Each structure stands twice: as C-alpha cells, then as structure tokens.
Amino acid sequence: MRIGMALALTLIAAAGGCKKGTTTSTGGGGGGGGGGGWLVGSSGRMVNIHTDNTTSGYDTGTTERLNGIACRNQGEAWVVGTAGTVLYTNDGGTTWTNQRVPTSVELRALATQDDGPVFLAGNGTFLESDDVGATWRELSDGHTNFRAVAAAGDSDTILAVSEDGTVWAHDGAQLAARAKLAGARAVAVSTDGDTAIVAGHGLWRSTDRGATWTNLTTNNELAFDDVRLAADNTAIAVGAGGAIAMIDADGHVLAQHVGTSDFHTLRISGSGWGDAKSYAAGDDGQVWESSDLGWTWTRGPNVGVAVYGIDQIGLGHR
C-alpha cells in the first residue's frame, strides 16, 4: 500500500545502520550486516533492515526496553534503555558490549558528536563521556527528567528537552535552561548547530542555537514524539496516530497521516545522510519507508515489537 501526500493532507503556513553480523533473518533473506536502518525497541529487541527489505536481529542479552540508538562514523554506535542499559559497538555492529554507567535509572535518549562527546539522558540523569564511554560525568541536578537530546555534528551546540518542556543547552561545562515550551517532547539540531526544531504538542524552530524559539503553525490536535533535521535544514516529525509533518527550511509545515499507529521514531535520508531510504516506526512494529524524503511512504517489514529508536552508522547520526 502506498500512501501519498494527497491523503489526509493539510498545508499550513508557518508563523514566523549500524552494521550487523549474523542471527535470525525474516522477510525472505539471509542474515548478515549491511546498509538500511537499525531499530531498537521493547524486550531488548535490535533489528537491522537491509537494503533488500530483509531483516536480521541481534541477541542483545537483555530484555530491557531499548529507547534509543545513536551512531557515528563507520563503526561506532550506542544504545540506551531502562535500568541504566548502555550497549556499545566499535566494529559496525558485529559485536556489542555493555558499558558501565553511574546510574541504574531509565535512559531515554542519547546523542553523539563526530569527534566529540557522547551524551546520555534519562530520569534524573544527564551523562557526558569524552573518552568513548570509559568514564562518565553527571551534569544533571538529580531531579530533572530528560526525554530528548540532540548534538550538532560540526559545532558545539547541544540541546536537550526535559519532561516539563524545558529546553536546555550544554555550554561545555554545565546545563542551562533556555526556554519553556509547553508540551515539548523531542529536539533535533542541524549539522552546523545554528538551526533546531523542537516537536511535541506543537512545533517550534530556532535559528540562533536555541536561544529563542518561534512557534510553527500546525494542527493543534497533532502530537509528535520524534523529529529529525536534514542537511538542508528541512525536517520531519512523527507522532501519534501516524502523524507525519514535513517542515521546510523556512518553517512551513505540511502534515499527513500514514497508517493509524503511533510513531515513536524516525530517521531521514537525503544529502549527507548516507542512504536512500527514510524510516518511521512505532507501537505496532510496522516500519514505513520513504525514498523521496517523506513525500510518500510504503510499508516495509514488521519487526513484531514496538520500536523506539532508529539510526545508521555513517553520516546523519542523531
């Protein structure tokens, strides 16, 4: 089934993988690593969608819910989850190890920089490592619950969103509150760090590294759970009831619904993103794919469990 922008379409003017080795395969193909997207989700599930739409899984050795994955360069990736779970690979996903972190709380989000720190965020914790996870520094006050974090690839812009909708900025030494955006749930930052998008019960855009924010006009009934920025500063947000919003570089929003299940995560392709497909997935395990930067979507494989994170080793990491 192909669903295009003609279905449930609203035009709104703005106000202002990780490569994996072997294991079980589904969808008619053999195991093995390669391109496509890497998905993590409930019950410790980790799945690689290959370019031919077959899938292969990886036995993570845990049944904890995996909430997010962030990859960088051609070999590294981190995965975070409940009970302080942190998985790491430096060989493109052939093997994964458990990294020790100074917390046992739920880790809900993470972000990496190309040649800089790694950030993990969760309930009452915000951790930074400058040595590939050998040691971690706690930056949180111990009370703030973080639900999202994003890092610019080529600058020092680091932004996070806490449960109460506060947007935080990392200044190299500590976290500082920048703005309160009621209903904020997710954040994305451009490669140069200048542009940022926050999504949730609304959409907001900043062009000054998160110092000030403009509310983007969109359907007030839409609720988004994840957002990504492409190299040209366009963005896609996904959320409840199959909602997908495309945001152009000037902040105009184009919204549609793809299916009816709640989306929790996406990864978008395009210039500098390393592959031809975009992916969106969520509650029902159904993966949707786009080869035209989100204009139309087709059904991909169903991985059988709820999906909470998608990424791929290479350019375009979170």
pLDDT value at residue 161: 98
Pick the CATH number of 17-311 from 1.10.287.110, 1.10.3720.10, 2.130.10.10, 3.40.50.800: 2.130.10.10
Residue 269 to residues 1, 28, 41, 253, Cα–Cα distance (Å):
21, 25, 21, 18
For the chain, report the end-to-end CA distance as a whole number of angstroms: 29
d(CA 318, CA 305): 22
Residue 107 to residues 110, 145, 174, 182, Cα–Cα distance (Å):
8, 10, 19, 22
Amino acid occupying residue 243: A
d(CA 185, CA 203): 10
- 8 Å CB contact between 234 and 219: no
pLDDT value at residue 270: 57
Give the predicted TM-score (pTM) of the model.
0.88
Helix (H, G, I), strand (E, B) or coil at 242: helix
* Tens of pLDDT, residue by residue, the chain (318 residues): 333 433 333 333 333 344 333 333 333 333 334 445 789 999 999 998 887 888 988 889 999 999 999 988 878 999 999 999 999 999 888 888 999 999 999 999 999 987 789 999 999 999 999 999 999 999 999 999 999 999 998 889 999 999 999 999 998 889 999 999 999 999 999 999 999 999 999 999 999 999 999 999 998 899 999 999 988 899 999 999 999 999 999 999 999 999 999 999 999 875 444 456 899 999 999 999 998 888 899 999 999 999 999 998 654 456
- The neighbouring-strand residues paired with 98 are 87
- 8 Å CB contact between 309 and 265: yes
pLDDT value at residue 153: 84
- 8 Å CB contact between 297 and 287: no
d(CA 263, CA 273): 21
pLDDT value at residue 154: 85
pLDDT value at residue 313: 61
116 CB contacts (<8 Å, ≥6 apart)? Answer: 130, 151, 156
Strand ranges in 136-180 using DSSP code E only, listed in sequence order: 137-138, 146-151, 158-162, 166-170, 175-180
Task: Give the dihedral sign, CA 171/196/217/161.
Answer: negative
